[in-house]
Amino acid sequence: MASSSKSSPWLALLIVCALLACTANGYDPLSAGYYDRSCPSVQHVVRSVMEWNIAAKPSMAPAVLRLFFHDCFVNGCDASVLLDRASDLESDKDAEVNESLTGFDVIDEIKSHLERACPGTVSCADVLALASRDAVALLGGPAWAVPLGRKDSRAANKSAAEAYLPGPHDNVTTLIKAFEVHSLDERDMVALSGAHTVGKAHCHHYRARVYGYDGEGGAGEIDPAFAEMLRGTCGAGGDDAEAPFDEQSPMRFDNAYYKDLVARRGLLTSDQALYGCGGPVDRLVEMYSEDGEAFARDFAIAMVKMGNIPPPAGMSLEVRLDCKRINNY
């Protein structure tokens, strides 16, 4: 199997460095060295807390990575997904699509350490971006230089979370449009979908697919033995039952996810939608299934691009002292 982990991390870094001039908040340019003077320990603190948490509970790695996706796809990478509901503030956490999110405690722990080391300096949005990179690297995936300098929003948008986050039953056309909104192309979409090489999904997200009433033909096809196995997990545990996205290596960040798609063993309808309809998306899946280094390289590039999705112009931004609530002035 071609490895997507550590065979050429320098290659990913060289390619990603070309993207560091982008901006993520519409105001300040991002830079990997943004905190070199104001908080030189930021990278060490984030990595140390992530290492400890993932060693204790490996599922925190895909959980943190999922937080970053759900944050950036709603009003840009502004840490709005971390905000708790308040009397005068709605919360993205209350959106149905976000009800199963976890990993908030890990981000809060990192932020707490950073507030002691560098008070009022490192944004929660940057914490989430760095923690996501380390989540991938600690599971054997690529590492990349993270552009920093994001700010945190003073608002959330529950309705936008419901409207704009890709769903488990989406077809490939819907997925392409969801990514295009954020200037992410088909290559970015297929590479970023590879985040599903780690983690699990609940039965109610894949029940329709494995029981055969969530699409017909093409990308709706499913390996019969795989469907039978998953019907067993749903039957035994109901909607709360879980299955790994990648049954081969569920906690190793590699290219096995794409091998599963070629074998018609994608867990969600939106996973299998990437393969089976022909065209450039199919060819990308086939390439990544055969070339783990190409996947690692393109995933790193796409993560930087996604991390540069800006908040809307004119949004009120700050560096939150507590990721769960806005600052009181």
What is the spatial distance between Cα 311 and Cα 130, in angstroms, rounded to a whole number?
18
User: Is 70 among the catalytic positions?
Assistant: yes
What is the spatial distance between Cα 227 and Cα 263, in angstroms, rounded to a whole number?
12
What is the spatial distance between Cα 51 and Cα 33, in angstroms, rounded to a whole number?
22
DSSP assignment of 136-173, as one string? HHHTT----PPPB---EES---HHHHHHHS--TT--HH
What is the spatial distance between Cα 242 and Cα 268, in angstroms, rounded to a whole number?
12
Residue 291 labeled ligand binder: no
Residue 196 labeled ligand binder: yes
The active-site residue, picked from 70, 182, 202, 204, is 70
Cβ atoms of residues 288 and 258 within 8 Å: yes
Residue 215 labeled ligand binder: no
Q: State both tokens at 9.
A: 């991390």
Cβ atoms of residues 164 and 77 within 8 Å: no
Residue 322 labeled ligand binder: no
In SS3 terms, 193-218 reads as HHHHHCCEEEHHHHHHHHCCCCCCCH
Residue 64 labeled ligand binder: no
What is the biggest distance separating any 2 CA atoms in the chain, rounded to whole angstroms? 59
Residue 4 labeled ligand binder: no
Residue 78 labeled ligand binder: yes
Beta-carbon-side half-sphere exposure of residue 229 (alpha carbons within 13 Å): 12
DSSP assignment of 3-59, as one string? --SSS-HHHHHHHHHTTTT-BSSSSSB-BTTTTTTT-TTHHHHHHHHHHHHHHH-TT
Annotated binding residues, written as ranges, equal 71, 74, 76, 78, 80, 166, 196-197, 246, 254
Annotated binding residues for heme b, written as ranges, equal 196
Annotated binding residues for Ca(2+), written as ranges, equal 71, 74, 76, 78, 80, 197, 246, 254
Annotated binding residues for substrate, written as ranges, equal 166
Residues assigned a catalytic role: 70
